[in-house]
Every structure is written in C-alpha cells, then in structure tokens.
C-alpha cells in the first residue's frame, strides 16, 4: 500500500475547480489499494467538506501537520497552541492581519480574510482574554511576501515555541514540533506503512517540510524555485504524479 498526501490549494483544487484527469487518477490509485488524502494548512473542520461524489479522502492532515484524522469521527490528534504563544505573536506582529483559529470560532482582525469570508463563525479579535477555546493555529497576513518573511524571521529570533510556515503573504503558526512531514509520518504509523511507501505533492513554501522530509516528493513548474529545487520530481499534475508512482 502506498500513501499520497496532497496539498489542496494550487495542487488539487484550482480557480476552475478540480481537474477531471486528477480525479480519475485518484480513483484508480485508491482502487489499487492505495491511500489518498489532503495535507493542508487549513483547519481540520473544513477539509472533509471538500469531498465530492467523485473525490474521497482516506485521511486528512490539517493545520500544517498539527491535526491528523482518518475520518470525521476518527481523529488521531489535534494539537493546540498555548495562549502564551499567542501573546508573543501579538507582541511581534500586532493583531493587524491576524486570524486565530479556535476549535469552534475564528477570532480575527476585522480586515482579515476570515472576517470577510466566514463572518458567521468570526469573532472580532481585540485581546487574548476573549479567547476561551483551544487554539488550533494562527495565520498572519501581510501585504507582501517580504513583509511575511520579516514576520517569520522575528518569530524565529524570539525563539517562540511553535512551528511556522510561510505561504505567500501569509505566515501560519501551529504547535511545535508539527509540520506537514510529521503529519505524514504519523499517518504512516497509523496505516502500518514504511517510509518508502510515502509520497507527497505540493506547490508552495509551506509544503517544503514534507517535500524535503518525505522520500518521494513532487512539485510543479509554477512553484517557487526553492520548492522546485527540493522536490524529487517536477510534474504537470497530480495525474502525472500518480502515473509515475504506479510504474
């Protein structure tokens, strides 16, 4: 049995939706007894809903590896950030552009993506004290990639006890020592697979931990150059990656 962990945005799902050739290849891959699922920076509770009649996930790795589940009902773990870490992040980055993903709600700056797109579940963030539920992850948005990189460097300089990942103009923060690579490794233990049976595919900086840490990795010609350099193979699609795995 082989396991293929796929990033979601820009890897499996695009502006025009899912690509039929990818869906056909995934179905074939699963019928052969293999496992396919997501490995995303998004929180766990939203990802199972992305399945369709033509797309089934055998697992979901969420919050950049801090959450791993085999189904909606079977969650292997879902680790959280402490309020102390959140206080340190606010001291470094301020609340501007910040989204705190709680177990039930988003706590967010009013101009953030969460306040604009998931308003029903969003509470306007003003202080740490108002958060009375476990914190799954923190997302910090800046206007440019350089600004996001600067925030990342400041977090590292302060030795904040967390895992951080840059994704374009965003910095995602989850509990230490998780990453997409550790999430895939936890999944391998759950399925009883060896590391040689693990495959991953992604297109951005937050995919680097799995692309560097997993033996068989794929990326795309449109991925940032450092991501392409670390990937074992460059492919045009998930369908092409699956064809290579099946050989």
Strand ranges of the sheet holding 198-201, from the earlier edge strand across to the other edge: 75-78, 67-69, 59-62, 35-39, 3-6, 198-201, 216-219, 233-234
Q: Tens of pLDDT along 128-162?
A: 899 999 999 999 999 999 999 999 999 999 999 99
Tens of pLDDT, residues 26-65: 999 999 999 999 999 999 988 999 999 999 999 999 999 9
pLDDT one-digit tens code per residue, 5-22: 999 999 999 999 999 999
Domains of the chain, first to last: 3-78+178-246 (3.40.50.1000), 83-175 (3.30.1240.10)
The answer on pLDDT for 77 being more than 80 is yes
Question: What pLDDT sits at residue 183?
Answer: 97
Per-residue confidence (pLDDT) for residue 121, from 0 to 100: 75
Task: Evaluate if pTM is beyond 0.85.
Answer: yes
- CA pair distance 111, 115, nearest whole angstrom: 6
Q: Return the percentage of the chain with pLDDT > 90, whole number.
A: 87
């Amino acid at each position: 049995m082989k396991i293929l962990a796929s990033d979601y945005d820009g890897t499996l799902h695009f502006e025009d939706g899912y690509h039929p050739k990818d869906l056909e290849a995934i179905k074939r891959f699963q019928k052969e007894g293999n496992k396919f699922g997501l490995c995303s920076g998004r929180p766990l509770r939203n990802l199972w809903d992305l399945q369709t009649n033509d797309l089934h996930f055998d697992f979901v790795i969420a919050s950049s590896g801090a959450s791993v589940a085999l189904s909606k009902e079977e969650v292997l773990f879902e680790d959280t950030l402490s309020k102390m870490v959140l206080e340190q992040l606010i001291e470094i980055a301020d609340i501007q552009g910040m989204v705190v993903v709680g177990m039930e709600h988003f706590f967010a700056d009013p101009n953030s993506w969460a306040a604009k797109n998931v308003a029903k579940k969003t509470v306007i963030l003003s202080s740490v004290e108002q958060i009375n539920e476990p914190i799954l992850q923190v997302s910090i948005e800046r206007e440019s990639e350089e600004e996001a990189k600067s925030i990342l460097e400041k977090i590292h300089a302060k030795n904040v006890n967390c895992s951080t990942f840059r994704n374009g103009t965003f910095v995602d923060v989850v509990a230490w020592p998780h990453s997409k690579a550790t999430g895939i490794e936890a999944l391998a233990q759950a399925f009883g697979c060896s590391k040689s049976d693990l495959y991953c595919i992604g297109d951005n900086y937050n995919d680097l931990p799995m692309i560097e840490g997993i033996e068989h990795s794929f990326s795309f010609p449109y991925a940032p150059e450092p991501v392409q350099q670390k990937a074992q193979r460059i492919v045009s699609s998930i369908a092409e990656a699956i064809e290579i795995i099946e050989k």
